[in-house]
Structure formats: C-alpha cells, structure tokens
Amino acid sequence: MLLGLTFSTAMIVPIASFVAFALFAWVAVDYFMNSSGRAEERLAEMSDPHRKEKLATQAKKSEAIAKVLEKASPTLAKPLTPTNEKEMGKLRQDLTEAGFRTESAPLTYLAIRAIFSLAFLALGGGISLIMYGITKDAAIRTFVVGAVGFYLPTLALGQLVKRRKEQIFLGLPDALDLMVVCVEAGLGLDQAMRRVSTEMKKSYPILADEFGLCNLHLQMGKARNEVLTDLGARTGVDDLRALASILIQADKFGSSIANALRVQSDAMRTRRQQIAEEKAAKTAVKLIFPLVLFIFPGIFVVLVGPAGIQMAREMFPAMSGGGN
C-alpha cells in the first residue's frame, strides 16, 4: 500500500506537467489558428439570428468585470506601483504601444500582475504542500511558481506590443500607396489620412485606428507637426517615425508630399522584402534541430535496425535460438 502511494505521488509531477503543456498548446493553437475572417462572421450571423444578442450580453459581462477590476486596481496595484516617474513613463509607453491608452491602464495592468502572482503562489503552494509537505523544497517550488505568475503578464504584454508593431509595419506600405493616390487626386494630407482610416478598417484595423486618432487630434485643433510626431512616438514603430519626419520636412519646405510618400513606400517594401529573404535564409538553420531530434532517429532505426538485428543473430546465435 505504501509502495503504491509512493508511486502515485511520484507520477503526479510528470502527469501534471504533461497536462499543463497540453492545455497551453491547445490555447496557443486555438488563439492563432481560429482567427475567423469577415466571411465566417457573416455566415455565423446568418446561421444564428440571435448572435448579436449573445455578443451584446458577453460584452456587458466583460464590461462589468472590467469595472470591478478598475475599482479594485488601486488597492491591488499599490505594492507594485513604480516609485519614480521614469519607470511609470516607460510602463505607460509599453501599454500605449500595446494599444491600451486609458488613464487607468497602468493600474489595471499592475493589478493583473498582482492577481496572477497571488493565484500562482496559492496554486504552487498548495500543490507543493500536498506533495512535499512543509519543507525547503516546497518553499522553493512555491516561490518559482509565484515568480512565473508575476512575470507572465509582462511576457504577454511584450507579445502584444510585438504583434501590434508587426501589423502596423506590414500594413504601412499599402496605406502609403493609398495616400499617394489620394494626394495625387487632389486631396490634402489631412483628407488623405481620413480616407486611409476609412478604407483600411477591415484589412488593417490597427493602422486605421491610429490614423483615425490622428484625424481626431487634427479636428480638435492640434498642430499637424505635433500630431505626426505623436503618431510615431505612440506606436513605437521606426517606420512611422521616419514617415512623420519626412512629412514634417515636406510640409515645412514646401516639397511634394506625393513624392515623399512614394519614396517612403518603396523603401518600406524593399525592407519588408529583405526581412522575408532573411527569414527564408534562416529556415535551413532552424530545420536542423527538428531534423536531428525527431526525424533522423526514426530514419536511423528504420534503415539500421534490420541490419543490426541480422548482425546480432549472426554474432550471437545462442541468443536468437540458433544454437538449438
């Protein structure tokens, strides 16, 4: 009975690790592969007449949860709030680059980090206490699990920033081409940006939102130079900063905005092509690891296995039954 209990306790760690890894892989695949397009959304709306009501109900629930979290944020985020303005400014910049521009975004983010830390700490402490008791190893494992929960929101925020910058970078050449067409058709730069924000809502919604925010600032009376500078600083994309500098210089010196946009668009397309070529060149090196770890062992067993069995039968006939 004691042996069976020890065996089952020893098997908890690999089983739990396998289940956690499987859940993480399933969530990742579901997140990246099940991104439905506009056609699927329209088909879902046609097949389910009550879809809009369900989405409205879910939106109300999410809004209620967000309000509760916003009210509890100051208390939960107080221990993690940066003490100096430099760290708080960096946090605001990271959240802005991820698309969170509200005043309560830093406190909400810090509250989420605190919640994740406490949840992982309680989970890790409970499992370690059940498996190891009150020991030093249990305390170390509890601390490691709590640290994972503490830094997990930071990793998620970094991925959001990276993904958002990539989407802006991929959509910017098309936006510049559309702006060139609008400017050459006789529209001003402000009207061209408004047109881009309207036409690219479905294809590149993040970039369209950024241009729409620029149009809102222009309508509020903000200077165009400040709006373009804020666009580059707000997104954190170097190409947008370069575009803002070029447009400011073109407006200042009276040069052709269409030519400046066309040159910038060509430069960005060339850079995007170079990045694609660089990734393609790295593919051969990256394929070495799955080949060595997963494919070569199977090929080795299939090719060398029969020869090894035959050699074993010839060299050790007694083991293969040939001595009888």
Could you tell me how far CA 53 lies from the centroid of its own chain? 29
What pLDDT score was predicted for residue 13?
Answer: 52
- Sign of the torsion formed by the C-alpha atoms of 98, 103, 106 and 111: negative
Query: Residue 209: inside a domain, yes or no?
Result: yes
Query: Residue 301: inside a domain, yes or no?
Result: no
Q: State how far the alpha carbon of 284 is from the alpha carbons of 271, 287, 297, in Å.
A: 21, 5, 19
What pLDDT score was predicted for residue 2?
Answer: 38
pLDDT in tens, 207-245: 888 888 888 888 888 888 888 888 888 888 888 888 888
Tell me the three-class secondary structure of 295-321, residue by residue. HHHHHHHHHHHHHHHHHHHHHCHHHHC
What pLDDT score was predicted for residue 54?
Answer: 61
d(CA 311, CA 42): 65
What pLDDT score was predicted for residue 148?
Answer: 83
Name 110's Cβ contacts closer than 8 Å, sequence gap at least 6.
Answer: 73, 76, 77, 80, 81
Query: Residue 300: inside a domain, yes or no?
Result: no
Q: What is the pTM of this model?
A: 0.66
d(CA 146, CA 124): 7
Name 121's Cβ contacts closer than 8 Å, sequence gap at least 6.
Answer: 142, 145, 146, 149
- Sign of the torsion formed by the C-alpha atoms of 241, 243, 248 and 253: positive
Query: Residue 130: inside a domain, yes or no?
Result: no
pLDDT in tens, 48-95: 666 566 656 665 666 666 666 666 666 667 777 777 888 888 888 888
What pLDDT score was predicted for residue 323?
Answer: 47
Q: What is the residue range of 253's domain?
A: 166-282
Query: Residue 194: inside a domain, yes or no?
Result: yes
What pLDDT score was predicted for residue 36?
Answer: 47
CA angle (190, 195, 201) in 5-degree steps: 130
Query: Residue 317: inside a domain, yes or no?
Result: no
Query: Residue 125: inside a domain, yes or no?
Result: no
Query: Exposed, middle or buried by CB within 10 Å (0-12, 13-18, 19+), for 196?
Result: buried
Instruction: Report, in this order, helix, strand and coil percent for the chain, each rounded to 5.
Output: 85, 0, 15
Query: Residue 129: inside a domain, yes or no?
Result: no
d(CA 36, CA 309): 52
Domain count, the chain: 1
d(CA 248, CA 255): 10
pLDDT in tens, the chain (324 residues): 434 434 444 555 556 555 665 666 666 556 555 544 455 555 555 566 665 666 566 656 666 666 666 666 666 677 777 778 888 888 888 888 888 888 878 888 888 888 888 888 888 777 777 777 777 777 787 888 888 888 888 888 888 898 988 888 888 888 888 888 888 888 888 888 888 888 888 888 888 888 888 888 888 888 888 888 888 888 888 888 888 888 888 878 777 788 888 888 888 888 888 888 998 888 888 888 888 888 888 888 888 888 888 888 888 776 555 544
